[in-house]
Structure 1
Amino acid sequence: MKQILFICLLQLLVYAAYGQFTISGKIVDETGNPLPGANIILENTYHGTSTDLKGNFVFSKIRKGEYVLKITYIGYASVQKMVKVDANVYLDISLEPAMILGDEVIISATRASDKAPVAFTNMEKDVINERNIGQDIPYLLSLTPSFVTSSDAGAGVGYTSFRIRGTDLNRINVTVNGIPLNDSESHGVWWVDLPDFASSVENVQIQRGVGTSTNGAGAFGATVNFQTFTLQKEPYAEINSSVGSFDTYKNTISLGSGIINGKFTFDGRLSKISSNGFIDRASSDLKSFAVSGAYYQKNTILKVIVFSGKEKTYQAWDGVPGYLLSSNRTFNGIGEYKDANGNTGYYANETDNYQQDHFQVFYSTELNPHLHLNTAFHYTKGKGYYEQYKESQEFSKYGLDNLIVGSDTLTDTDLIRQKWLDNDFYGVTYSLKYQGKKWDAVLGGAWNNYLGDHFGKVIWARFVSNSDIDHEWYNNNGAKKDFNVFGKTNYQINSKLNLYGDLQYRRIHYEIKGIDDDFRDITQRHEFDFFNPKVGFSYIINDRQSLYYSFGIAHREPNRYNFIDADPNGPIPSPETLRDYEFGYSFKSAHYLLVANVYYMNYKNQLVLTGEINDVGSPIMTNVDKSYRAGLEITTGINILPKLNWEANVTFSRNRIIGFTEYIDDWDTWSQVSNYLGETDLSFSPNIIAGSKINYEMIKKVNVALISKYVGDQYIDNTSSEDRKLDRYFINNLYINYRHKSSLFKEINFTLLVNNLFNVEYETNAWVYRYLEGGEKKVFDGYFPQAGINYLLGLSVKF
């Protein structure tokens, strides 16, 4: 055995020894002037670089073989060049001005460039599509660093979510083509509202930490920036169909005109997804479409994008009580009722129903070879409700009179209610980008306005009292104006050192008017002014190594629920402040990749659950003075053999609250008991997160990959209590893809994804409520188990 290992190691060393050549050259424009900052990558390797101030570039220690060199520069046509390496290679490459303006100008203002001293990951369409056979966006991004997913229904369809570095989606800024996606009031993002959105995504950038300035709410720990519908020069059509466990089905049709008369393009997509879910009755019926039309000229783009999603999901929000996890992991108590004979039933329409429509208009123009202007107008319409069957509800809680029947007085009834949200969100974003030889800069910003109506209806009652049809028992509205302006710049001191600066001013005006569902008057008004500076530098050690450092400050205003649930007799929730320190190092060669990032995220007034309640018994989030997240992220990759490669990442972190006090309800005295715990762990913040993908091209048309994810222990509250945590888990998925080209179609793909290959039982999310009764500690809780071994089988045909 030792001899075999020695021979294998010797072969690898001999193979690596061939890496003795260089590819170097110079990139110039059509007049022979150098193009500093042009991006050059060796495709299908880890190696990428940019030209220096004189337009020069170099790749060292390249193995013998054939490579594809891809060069891009804003305003110029990209070039792909085949390079055969059996000696040192030098290339003079001239870029021609692009015949039409490129789509990258639409999102460049909110993206981090290679020079930016921040931790980020880029994913292109081909990587996203590998696993896009039914599951939602969180599962397609799950292999990026510090990333943890969760699914209410347990199978990745319906209500899904993710956390980055332990930060939840309410604190993660999400944009689509630079337009904010986060809900203005709650700061949340619901992927269920955008079914099969991934099929329209061309690329995505995930920034970890404060990142660069962007638009919208929630930029407080990470940023996710999607771009959709870039230029496809050739006509295309694609049909995708999938089938899987739990009666999961996905069907998608995508079409594109290609470029017509060198100026016009049209693209469209139609999708339908359905699933019964792993959890009982956790079904999803999801529909969506997306269309795009664009007019291209050499210096101008005018583009209109419309996308819409409609969802109907059976609610599975409550989770599974902890005591049932070992005996009935698929239990769903939502919608349960007793009939007249005492038999248990489940209300068939205990569903969430919502439609969201997005309209985006972009105008981009090249004012001169160094200056680009981009403007966008957007409008989002959202409307929907969730429906609930509620037993023994007091008339008085719905503004109704007690019902007198003969000599009897009825004070309660069974009823069906709907809670509605009807909102409009619109605004404008803009950016002016300058690209010089040593200096590039962006001036950007946005103005957005949100109007949201919240109201509830009783649509049926066993005893009708004095109610009308669709009796409305509460109504309130939120209005929020959000303005920001930012400027960011890179200054190239020399061929190795780049300085970065980023300043943002953000102003928020937020008003709530009306009564809530418990008849509290929640009318209030808040204004905030935030200044968010970021500075840093990047330094190129050589053509394969670089490092960076940055410091940034971000602020986040409390969301709607932080305000309306706050105790009226207590302090008003304060804005949160984050000071983020990042230091990174990268080593990239044609066949090896190592990226390490150290971060320290220091919070002031972070809002967390402490167990405190307001005057009507609802839990509230409270500002804690000091807390932090500190960690090390490592990303690595290696092309072990020409057809075998391994990519992996791991995060080691420590996530703590300094000086935490918990509060427990005492049902015997109707008071609260406080308990000072000192330093505790932040909830849902595992100390270790790791991901791995081993990919092997068995034969020319077949790829096989083993995809693995490890997530360490997570506490489900902030007390660091061992009996209130999610156990660590390690899951493995098997991916097999067969692709074939023929005269009948451009390409056909068969994909099999076997999730949770070893049938591990695990949970990814939970909630807990603790109280004292009769002198004993008791709990209500809910856990969200994920499916055991399950599969998705997909077929894709491209024409």
Structure 2
Amino acid sequence: MLKKFYASWAFCFMALLGFAQHDVSIRVVDNHHQVLVGATVTLDRISKQTDERGIASFAQTSDKTLPLQVTYLGYRPHNGRISTNQAQHSITLEALHLQTGEVFVSATRAGENAATTFKNINKDELRQNNLGQDIPYLLEQTPGMVIGSDAGAGIGYTSMRIRGSDNQRINVTLNGIPLNDAESMGSFFVNLPDFASSVESIQIQRGIGTSTNGAGAFGASLNIQTDALEEGPYAELNNSFGSFNSWKNTVKVGSGLIQNKYAFNARLSRIASDGYVDRATSDLKSFYVDGGIYTDKHILKATVFSGKEKTYQAWNGISEDKLESDRTYNGFTYDNQTDNYTQTHAHLHYTSYFNDKVNLNVAAHYTRGAGYYEEYRENDKFSNYGLENVFIRNEDGDVLSEIKRSDMVRRRWLDNHFYGLTYSLNYKASDQLNLTFGGAANQYLGDHYGQVIWAQYASNSTIDSKYYLNDAKKTDINLYAKADYRVNNWLFNLDLQGRHVNYKASGDDNKIKNFSFEDDLSFFNPKIGTTYFINGHSNIYVSYAYAGKEPVRKDYVENPRNEFPKPEQMQDIEAGYRFRNEQFNVGTNLYAMLYKDQLVPTGTLNDTGGALRFNIPDSYRIGIELDGSWAIHPMFTWSATAALSQNKIKDFVEYIPVYNEDWEKLHEETVEHGTTNIAMSPSTVLSNDFTFKATNTLSFSLLTKYVSRLYLDNTSATERSIDPYFVNHIRALYTFKALGLERVDLNLTVNNIFNSKYETSGYTWREMYQGSTDIAHYNYYYPQAGTNFMLGLNIRF
């Protein structure tokens, strides 16, 4: 089916080549007449970057006057209009000592043509898709990306995997400051609803990538830059409405530069949805405020942003027997079975621009997080909460009966602080050599505790008592040095990082009492690569990286093998080819990620939906990726990605628990499986974006996604897997000016237009019972919504 589908599109594309075209080339130079390589040139909403000659070319079919914007880091943006009846244009950018927000991310981003596999997504691309769904849904066209949602429609708790690696292995930074939770190492965008409305660009590096701050990147890293400085004042009203009573309301304002020195921005957002799954509601609120002083030599910028989420729990998924009869089934029915969390971030950035060669960036940050999830527990043991059994007595005090269990409502809390300092020094030693030195020192303090807030029988419980309490402390220090050296047609990259982590916790967990651990780890993470420029349009690159990564909290506390987890180690080899001209922008790469002691999911989850993992000695991910776009005609553009891979465990051994009739674990049976597929790692991920631009203001897009079979555990058993799925979406975007407004966007997106029934994630477990040789298994899935829509109206003043 897929071959016929893509062959049909290819045939249509070839038929369109008969349209008459002529090229318009735009050459970008500085005020010393030096070409600027990698400048972003946007002609009538089509963006390209200049090649080695400083040229970006656009195919045109008619003579028109079109809007042009040219931007380059460290230079004043150019905005104007050009006539396409002139084949060649030259634009001179003025050097700008006044820095923009891009300087905050430059130290941790891969540079243009670096020997790293990456993809950049700009503000316009985000704006076209931002209708309220979480950030992973805006990145779906990334090679190897698999996304999903507990509630089934992309609002609330969402997940993403790149190269089969989940968000615990994907490093996320905001302006160079770590976002990943220090203990779980996950990034929960539900805590920052509508943050995409304050984002200027996102760079996605696949594999280990360049040295950054925070948790190690073992699958990918997301480097997020918030809104860049705007010189003029503005205001925006962005509103969306869609299926499942989904709403997004956003107000944004900015002062522009005041007295050529000060600037302020603010955003207020609300997102709400009933969810596709029963009762999987979301009520999300957030704000963002920044203020800065910008001079020729200095920037001082303060940013505060916060998110508050309340979501009804859907993290248990749906059992296999319910999947066919009721895809929206939710086993939770208690009215307040909700997750509640508030997270507030404060960042203070300072940049000193010493001269054309040297700049220094320092940032202090503090994050305050606190929240709980509430749940109803039926007929739970008093002993699980340190409470005494209840005795029913007669008038004489004689015991008539003993009550050992009670219905209860409990809350499990997470209360934490995260703070630290990041810094980088950038030195342009010459036109050939750039040096960067940087690092970070961060500390996390977290309390985990539980409370019983109601019980049918109160026993000896007291108000605000904690039935378990443990605290954790994690210190993370890293230093890195980077060098980029250009000689003739060669670019060499060297990147060295040292990282030290100390993590300790003690106290009681929900199920495990009187535990404590401490892990003190040091990592040396070297990276080296080279790029060869074949000509002004193409280059090839190769790189090698080595990295180590510490386990996450549940690996220590809930290890299914009752072992102290080992840190993971990985070697990442990347080789790729990039080609770009006026019609094509194509990148293809090979990769090999070779692991030692990789922590892989067993297939089972803990009681908050987190995957339990254990170390395996040898495993690997090997694959090929394609990320390309083809400007077939000024009216037609085709973009596509492909990721083909093998994700294997060598000599996998499965451990199956054996229980007695009282559900006490007696021992484990082992099953040797040989070489198997790593759980939740598809071998094929394809995506497609075919856009038809009917006019300069109206476009239509067909978006498709194919994901091959996903195995729920590491046994490669089809009966414990998710079937391949193929999903199609359409999008219509109408952008125009009216009534003196700067821009009006009307955006309609219809997801899953063929109403496919599919699941994106799930879990399973196997067990045996005393006296039986049969192995029972239980599968649970997260179904995604059928045909649904979102309609957006964005107005910018």
Aligned to 2:505: 512
Q: Where does 1:342-353 land on structure 2 (aligned, <5 Å)? A: 346-353=333-340
Q: Which one of the candidate residues 764, 769, 779 is aligned to 1:768?
A: 764
* Correspondence 1:189 to 2:176: no
Q: Give the whole-Å Cα distance in 2 for the aligned partners of 1:416 and 1:60.
A: 64
Please report how far the alpha carbon of residue 276 of structure 1 lies from its aligned counterpart in structure 2 after TM superposition.
0.8
- Are 1:610 and 1:663, in contact at CA under 8 Å, matched by a contact in 2? no
- Indicate the SS of the match to 2:105: helix
Question: How far, CA to CA, are the matches of 1:303 and 1:330 in structure 2?
Answer: 46
Which one of 331, 341, 351 corresponds to residue 364 of structure 1?
Answer: 351
Is the CA contact 2:604–2:765 (under 8 Å) kept in the aligned structure 1? no
Q: Match for residue 261 of structure 2?
A: 263
- Change in CA separation of 1:572 and 1:794 when aligned onto 2, cut-off 3 Å: same
Distance 1:7 1:198, change over 3 A: closer
* Matching residue of 2:688: 692
The alpha carbon displacement at 1:748 in A equals 2.0
The percentage of counterpart residues that share the same residue type is: 42
What CA distance in whole angstroms lies between the structure 2 residues aligned with 1:628 and 1:8?
A: 37
Instruction: Return the offset for 1:103.
Output: 2.0
Tell me what 2:160 maps to: 162
Q: Deviation at 1:78? A: 3.4
Equivalent position SS for 2:17? helix
Alpha carbons 1:59, 1:544 under 8 Å: kept: no
Gap regions ≥5 residues in structure 1 = 335-345
Name the CA distance, whole Å, in 2 between partners of 1:143 and 1:681: 24
1:331 equivalenced with 2:318 (yes/no)? no
- The change in CA–CA distance for 1:610 and 1:248 in structure 2 (over 3 A counts) is closer
- The aligned amino acid for 1:484 is N
The change in CA–CA distance for 1:42 and 1:158 in structure 2 (over 3 A counts) is closer
Question: Separation in 1 of the partners of 2:534 and 2:467?
Answer: 66
Change (3 A) 1:678 1:46: farther
Match of 1:440 among 427, 431, 434: 434
Q: Please give the per-residue CA displacement for 1:411-450, whole angstroms capped at 9, x wherever unaligned.
A: 1111110000000000000000012311011101000000
In structure 2, distance between residues paired with 1:601 and 1:428: 31
What is the CA distance between 1:777 and its match in structure 2? Answer: 2.2
Q: Secondary structure at the match of 1:705?
A: strand
Deviates more, 1:151-160 or 1:465-474: 465-474
Q: What letter is aligned with 1:633?
A: E
Q: How does 1:179-218 map to 2 (within 5 A)?
A: 179-218=177-216
Deviation at 1:481, TM superposition (A): 0.5
**Contact (CA 8 Å) 1:630, 1:653: kept in 2 or not?**
yes
What residue number does 1:473 align with?
A: 467
Partner of 2:124: 126
- Structure-2 residue corresponding to 1:638: 630
Deviates more, 1:276-285 or 1:62-71: 62-71
Assess if the C-alpha contact under 8 Å between 1:420 and 1:454 holds in 2.
yes
Tell me the secondary structure at the aligned position of residue 694 of structure 2: strand
Alpha-carbon distance in 2 for matches of 1:84, 1:263: 34
Greater alpha carbon shift after TM alignment, 403-412 vs 380-389: 403-412
What's the offset of the Cα at 1:41?
Answer: 4.1
1:26-45 → structure 2 map (5 Å cutoff):
27-29=29-31, 32=32, 34=34, 39=39, 41=41, 43=43
Give the conservation status (yes or no) of the 8 Å contact 1:611–1:664: no
After TM superposition, list the pairs within 5 Å mapping 1:734-753 onto structure 2. 734-753=730-749
Q: 1:663 aligns with which of 655, 671, 677?
A: 655
Deviation string, structure 1 residues 713-756 (Cα, Å, up to 9, x no partner): 11011110010111111111111122221124222222111110
User: Counterpart in 2 of 1:759?
Assistant: 755
1: CA distance, partners of 2:98 / 2:560: 57
Which residue is 2:3 aligned to? Answer: none
Per the TM alignment, residue 587 of structure 1 is displaced from its structure 2 partner at its CA by 1.3
Instruction: Quote how far apart the aligned CAs of 1:104 are.
Output: 1.4
Q: Distance in 2 between matches of 1:611 and 1:714?
A: 11
How far apart are the structure 1 equivalents of 2:546 and 2:643?
A: 22
Q: Using a 3 Å threshold, how does the CA distance of structure 1 residues 127 and 87 change in structure 2: closer, same or farther? A: closer
The answer to whether the 8 A contact 1:170-1:218 is kept is no
**C-alpha separation between the residues in 2 aligned to 1:7 and 1:792?**
29
Normalised by the size of structure 2, how large is the TM-score? 0.92
Provide the residue aligned with 1:454 in structure 2: 448
Distance 2:164 2:76 in 1: 41
Give the whole-Å Cα distance in 1 for the aligned partners of 2:279 and 2:42.
49
Tell me which amino acid in the other structure corresponds to 2:684: I
> Match for 1:236: what amino acid?
Y
Cα deviation, 1:469-528, whole Å, max 9, x if unaligned, reads: 13311000110000000011110011x210110000000011101111224222111100
Q: Matches of 1:34 and 1:173 in 2, distance apart? A: 36
- Partner residue, 2:707: 711
Q: After the TM superposition, which residues 271-286 of structure 1 pair with which residues of structure 2 at under 5 Å, given as runs?
A: 271-286=269-284
Code of the residue aligned with 2:362 in structure 1: it is T
Q: d(CA) in 1 for partners of 2:694 and 2:754?
A: 23
Give 3-state SS (helix, strand or coil) of 1:211's partner: coil
Mapped contact 1:40–1:69 kept (Cα < 8 A): no
Q: Is contact 1:689–1:710 with CA below 8 Å preserved after alignment?
A: yes
SS of match in other structure, 1:129: helix
Deviates more, 1:220-229 or 1:418-427: 220-229
CA distance in 1, matches of 2:339, 2:439: 35
C-alpha separation in 2, matches of 1:634 and 1:282: 36
Residue 574 (structure 1) aligned with residue 572 (structure 2): no
Alignment of 1:378-397 (within 5 A): 378-397=365-384
Deviations along 1:651-698, one digit per CA (max 9) or x if unpaired, are 111111111001112225822110110100011111110111111122
Distance 1:57 1:36 in 2: 5
1:438/1:83 CA distance change after superposition, 3 Å? farther
2:17 to 4, 7, 12: 12
Out of 379, 388, 391, the residue aligned to residue 401 of structure 1 is: 388
Other-structure match for 1:78: 77
The residue number in structure 2 matching 1:342 is none
1:76 is paired with a residue of what secondary structure?
coil
Distance in 1, matches of 2:14 and 2:601, equals 53
User: In 2, distance between residues paired with 1:252 and 1:130?
Assistant: 15
Asked whether the equivalents of residues 603 and 712 of structure 2 are also in contact (C-alpha less than 8 Å), the reply is no
CA distance in 2: counterparts of 1:442 and 1:585, whole angstroms: 26
Q: Once the two structures are superposed, what CA deviation does each residue of 1:582-638 show, in whole Å capped at 9, x if it has no partner?
A: 111011111122211111111111012347999xxx995221111111111112211
Distance in 2 between residues matched to 1:333 and 1:237, nearest whole Å: 44
Distance 1:613 1:427, change over 3 A: closer
Gap change, CA 1:740 and 1:545, over 3 Å in 2: same
SS in 2 for 1:502: strand
For the residue of structure 2 that corresponds to 1:185, the secondary structure is coil
Name the Cα RMSD after superposition. 2.5
Residues matched between the structures, number: 769
2:496 match: 503
**Does the CA contact (< 8 Å) of 1:58 and 1:543 recur in 2?**
no
Q: Distance in 2 between matches of 1:246 and 1:694?
A: 27
Q: Which amino acid aligns with 1:463?
A: Y
Question: What secondary structure is seen at the aligned counterpart in 2 of 1:670?
Answer: strand
> CA distance change for structure 1 residues 42 and 289 in 2, over 3 Å: closer, same or farther?
closer
Query: What TM-score results when the alignment is normalised by the length of structure 1?
Result: 0.92
Q: For 1:312 and 1:562, locate their aligned partners in 2 and report how far apart those are by CA, in whole Å.
A: 27
Which aligned pairs between 1:87-106 and structure 2 lie closer than 5 A?
Answer: 89=88, 91=90, 94-98=92-96, 100-106=98-104
The alpha carbon displacement at 1:775 in A equals: 2.9
Q: Within the alignment, does 1:599 sit opposite 2:586 as a pair?
A: no
Q: Is the 8 A contact 1:46 1:590 kept in 2?
A: no
Which of 494, 515, 537 in structure 2 is aligned with 1:544? Answer: 537
Mean CA deviation greater in 274-283 or 79-88: 79-88
Question: Given the superposition, is the C-alpha separation of residues 398 and 703 from structure 1 closer, same or farther in structure 2, using an over 3 Å criterion?
Answer: same
Q: Deviations over 1:309-356 (max 9, x none)?
A: 00111100100000111101111112xxxxxxxxxxx21001000000
Structure 1: distance between partners of 2:251 and 2:387: 50
Q: Could you say which residue in structure 2 is the equivalent of 1:786?
A: 784
Give the superposition deviation at 1:371.
0.5
CA distance in 2, matches of 1:328, 1:612: 23
Q: Deviations over 1:520-546 (max 9, x none)?
A: 222111100000000000111111111
**DSSP 3-state at the match of 2:448:** strand
Deviates more, 1:724-733 or 1:745-754: 745-754
Tell me the distance in 1 between the aligned counterparts of 2:600 and 2:228.
40
- Counterpart position of 1:152: 150
